Structure 1
Amino acid sequence: MRTISHKDEGYGEFVATLDRRAIPGDDVREAVAEIVREVGARGDRALADYAARFDKVALAPAALFVTKEEIAEARKAVAPSTKKAVAASLRNITEFAKRSMRKDWSYRNAEGAKVGERFTPFDRVGVYVPGGKAPLVSTALMTAGFAKAAKVPEVLGATPCGPDGKVNPELLYALHAAGVSEVIKVGGAQAIAAMALGTESVRPVDRIFGPGNKFVVEAKRQLVGAVSIDLLPGPSEVLVLADKTGNPDFIAADLLAQAEHGGDSVIGFISDSKALIVKVLKAIERQLETLSRADYIREVLDQGAFALHVKNLSKGVEIANAFAPEHLSLMVEKESKWLKQIRTAGAIYVGNLSAVAVGDFLAGPSHTLPTGGAGRSFSGLRADQFQRRTSIVKLDRKSVAKSLPVVEEFARIEGLDAHGRSVSIRCE
């Protein structure tokens, strides 16, 4: 884990690298463009070919979808404790979602016209759940669960299967519990292309949700327009900002938990207390000895983790806002004061007891959040993203007459006499 202090030579250059812009490399952009073209041109056959190439599975076009029998098998295979955990998480997700959905409203403007907004669920959405070393059951819940709460009629799930052609039973159970209508056994950029463009057997969706690797994120970026997207959530991140009141054991545990996400993870720790940084580094070493994947986690920490000693907490907040982390843990004495100054984090965990893992699995807000500095422009996934907004305008004779003079003036300025006539004819 790289450690650097504001007193060190090279500190300024390192801090400058923390002001990130998530811009894909040419190699990623070109590779994804080819996948999108292939799926668009060859449909199911392209999906089967990419499954063989990337996931090492022989997946005939007729076997792209999870069957009812596989769902039934998964339901039987899942332990009661898992079902209980899934139910608890979905309960909090649903309650949180209900409070964040937008509601219809209307009022009469100065001319007496009735104007407002109406919010309806999308007809069909896609949720992407990455594959990898562990089944991301919680990601299924924190995407599809929001769609269910928003009453989306059709939800298409996409996740890569194993070499045996099967989807992990716990993950499949979670997708079904969260209201997913159908699941394709496809991952990567090709899954995003299939959901956006459609194939012979995959009907396209209106909007795509969910995190993924750099290829998945780039596919979502390239396909905006063919479909809308939630945000651009890539490899997971955590940034801990703490003063001397931070608990070193808790901080170390959060950093180690983040490292479990893999080699692309970003793990940062900022403090104005050099003594706390030393204690955290020692705590990391102690706790590593107790973990089954210690060697793997140590490698991740060596590749993508840093501890930064800043002159004061104000500087730490400035750096945190430039970094725009996915998860920010705030462990400081004056919580309210410093919380108000954090503007760009996807999610903020306040206080020593607020473990990021509780937010990952249970608390209620979605853990699908902006990464790579995208927190400046994007918010995390929320229930109102599953709603389509429509504006409503209704005029009567009085309000259309009062609107006419202003409309005619704009029509004159812009040279659009038909616009003015379309209103004046209603006043004759």
Structure 2
Amino acid sequence: MKIIRHTDPGYPAAASALNRRAEASDSVREVVSGVIKAVRERGDAAVLELVEKFDGAKLTAAQMRVSQSELDAAWDAADATLKAALESSQRNVAAFAKRSLRQEWSFKNEQGATVGEIYHPFERVGCYVPGGTAPLVSTSIMTVAIAAAAGVPEIVVCTPCGRDGTVNLGLLAALKLAGATEVYKIGGSQAIAALAFGTETIRPVTKIFGPGNSYVVEAKRQAFGVVSIDLLPGPSEVLILADKSGNPAFIAADILAQAEHGKDSMAGFLTDDAALLDAVVAQVAEQSATLSRQAQLAPVLEKGVFLMLVPSLEEGARLANDFAPEHLTLITTREQDILPLIRTAGAIFLGNYSPVAVGDFLAGPSHTLPTGGSGKSFPGITADMFQRRTSIIRLDRESCAKSEPVVRAISAVEGLDAHARSVSIRSV
């Protein structure tokens, strides 16, 4: 862990380094570009080669898709405790999603034209659900269930399989409950390419959702424009900002919960209280020794966890905005002063009793959130991202005539006389 205090000579540089932007390395861009080119040119054959190369699974085209009977069997095989947990999560997420859908509206403008917006669900979307070292059952709910609540009729899921060509049964059970209509055993950037451009087996989608590693995120970036993209959510991260009211055991537990994702995960802790910082360091050491995922924890604790003593919570809030964390936990007796200062977090968890894990699994808002600094530009997944907006404009003869002078004046500047005539011809 890196421990930095505002009294240290290196503090200004460390604080400045928190201001980041989400950018892929040249090597990641090059690999992803090659994957997309291969899938576009050779379809299923390229996908199957890449699955074998990256996941170690030898599949045929017919084996890529998980059958409905497999999904049904996975749900039937799930134990009662898991089913109850998934159903509780799905209910919360669906209820939250339905309340945040955009509604149709209209009004009359100055000239008397009726203008407004209508919304339709996308016809066919793709949801990427990571597998890797942990089958993200929760991501099934946090993407697919929202699409279902928005009324999307075709919800296509790609998720990596194991070397034996199978997908975790708990994950399949969650996908069945959430409402997936197609499930494919494909991971990585090749899955994004297949969703965006299509293959002989997988029809292309119109929008892609979901988190993934740096290669998945870069593939989404490169596919943008061919399809619509939700956001660019990569490796998970948390930033905790606390004053002396913070519980060090709780804070350490949240840091470790983030670190067990492994790989490029990050966890940061900012406080204006030196005693709390020391207590959190001690708790991280004590609790980490009791956890099972040591192989994932160790590298993150070494390189991906930082703790900073800041001169004030206001300075901590400024640094939090620079960092733009996926998850921000705020613990302070001055919540009414500090909370309004936070502007770039994907999700904010308030108080000692709001663990990020509840947001990950259950609370209601999607846990698919912007990472790597992209929170400066993107929000997390919301239900209205599954809706396509269309504007509506209706004029009668009177409102058309009232609009004509404005159109004529602007057309004259732009040199578009046919535009002007298309209105004036209706206004005589």
Q: Give the TM-score normalised by structure 2.
A: 0.99
1:186 counterpart SS class: coil
Read off the aligned partner of 1:396 and give its amino acid letter. Answer: D
Aligned match of 1:213: 213
1:44 counterpart SS class: helix
Q: 1: CA distance between counterparts of 2:327 and 2:76?
A: 35
1:191 counterpart SS class: helix
Decide whether the 8 Å contact of 2:75 with 2:176 is kept in 1. Answer: no
1:119 counterpart SS class: strand
Read off the aligned partner of 1:80 and give its amino acid letter. Answer: A
Deviation per residue, 1:86-143 (Å, 9 max, x gap): 1100100011111111100000000000000111100000000011111100001000
Aligned match of 1:110: 110
Q: Alignment identity in percent?
A: 57
Q: 2: CA distance between counterparts of 1:368 and 1:296?
A: 21
Which deviates further from its counterpart, 277-286 or 364-373? 277-286
Q: 2: CA distance between counterparts of 1:93 and 1:75?
A: 19
Q: 2: CA distance between counterparts of 1:300 and 1:23?
A: 20
Read off the aligned partner of 1:388 and give its amino acid letter. Answer: R
Read off the aligned partner of 1:409 and give its amino acid letter. Answer: A
Residue 294 of structure 1 and its aligned partner are, at CA, apart by 4.2
Decide whether the 8 Å contact of 1:44 with 1:61 is kept in 2. Answer: yes
Residue 73 of structure 1 and its aligned partner are, at CA, apart by 2.4
Please list, as runs of the form range in 1=range in 2, the aligned pairs for 1:10-409 lying within 5 A after superposition.
Answer: 10-294=10-294, 296-409=296-409
Read off the aligned partner of 2:177 and give its amino acid letter. Answer: A
Residue 300 of structure 1 and its aligned partner are, at CA, apart by 1.8
Q: 1: CA distance between counterparts of 2:264 and 2:335?
A: 30
RMSD: 0.9
Q: 2: CA distance between counterparts of 1:292 and 1:153?
A: 40
1:96 counterpart SS class: helix
Deviation per residue, 1:187-212 (Å, 9 max, x gap): 00000000000111111001000000
Q: 2: CA distance between counterparts of 1:50 and 1:307?
A: 39
Decide whether the 8 Å contact of 1:47 with 1:61 is kept in 2. Answer: no
Residue 67 of structure 1 and its aligned partner are, at CA, apart by 1.3
Residue 288 of structure 1 and its aligned partner are, at CA, apart by 2.0
Decide whether the 8 Å contact of 2:254 with 2:355 is kept in 1. Answer: yes
Number of matched pairs: 428
For structure 2, the 5+ residue unaligned runs are none
Residue 61 of structure 1 and its aligned partner are, at CA, apart by 1.5
Q: 2: CA distance between counterparts of 1:78 and 1:166?
A: 16
Q: 2: CA distance between counterparts of 1:311 and 1:280?
A: 18
**Where do 4+ consecutive residues of structure 1 move more than 4 Å?**
none
Q: 1: CA distance between counterparts of 2:285 and 2:217?
A: 34
Residue 339 of structure 1 and its aligned partner are, at CA, apart by 0.6
Decide whether the 8 Å contact of 2:262 with 2:299 is kept in 1. Answer: no
Structure 1 pair 296/403, CA: closer, same or farther in 2 (3 Å)?
closer
Aligned match of 2:5: 5
Q: 1: CA distance between counterparts of 2:291 and 2:29?
A: 37
Read off the aligned partner of 2:38 and give its amino acid letter. Answer: E
1:426 counterpart SS class: coil
Decide whether the 8 Å contact of 1:263 with 1:303 is kept in 2. Answer: no
1:345 counterpart SS class: coil
Read off the aligned partner of 1:272 and give its amino acid letter. Answer: D
Q: 2: CA distance between counterparts of 1:5 and 1:427?
A: 71
For structure 1, the 5+ residue unaligned runs are none
